[in-house]
């Protein structure tokens, strides 16, 4: 999930985790990773990561790049 979404729907995130699903990182703002700097990529990942860490106390270990169906 994106960090933006986590911020908007924290109760849904909790419910998804409680139902037994792994929570995966999908970046903070759904930017295309190949179009931004490495530093921004790290920030996109870590801002979302910290949101989930603060909300659930868990470290996300999965990452799906946004728009990865595009070449
Ligand atoms: Zn997406």
* Token couple for 16: 């998804």
pLDDT of residue 22: 96
- In this prediction, residue 70 has a pLDDT band, given cuts at 50, 70 and 90, of low
Burial class (CB in 10 A: 0-12, 13-18, 19+), 30: middle
Question: What is the 14 CA–ligand 1 centroid distance (Å)?
Answer: 20
- In this prediction, residue 71 has a pLDDT band, given cuts at 50, 70 and 90, of low
Question: What is the 18 CA–ligand 1 centroid distance (Å)?
Answer: 22
pLDDT of residue 68: 72
Where b means 16+ CB within 10 Å and e means fewer, 38-71 reads: eeebebbbebbbebbeebbeeebeeeebbeeeee
Question: What is the 57 CA–ligand 1 centroid distance (Å)?
Answer: 23
Element (H, E) at 14: helix 10-18
Over the stretch 31-62, which tens digit does the pLDDT of each residue have? 999 999 999 999 999 999 999 999 999 999 99
In this predicted structure, the answer to whether residue 69 has a pLDDT above a threshold of 80 is no
Cβ atoms within 10 A of the Cβ of 26, count? Answer: 22
pLDDT of residue 9: 98
């Amino acid at each position: 999930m994106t960090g933006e979404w986590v911020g908007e729907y924290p109760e849904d995130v909790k419910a998804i985790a409680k139902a037994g699903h792994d929570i995966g990182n999908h970046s903070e703002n759904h930017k295309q990773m190949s179009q931004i700097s490495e530093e921004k990529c790290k920030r996109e990942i870590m801002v979302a990561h910290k949101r989930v860490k603060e909300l659930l106390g868990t470290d996300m270990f999965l990452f799906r790049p946004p728009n990865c169906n595009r070449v």
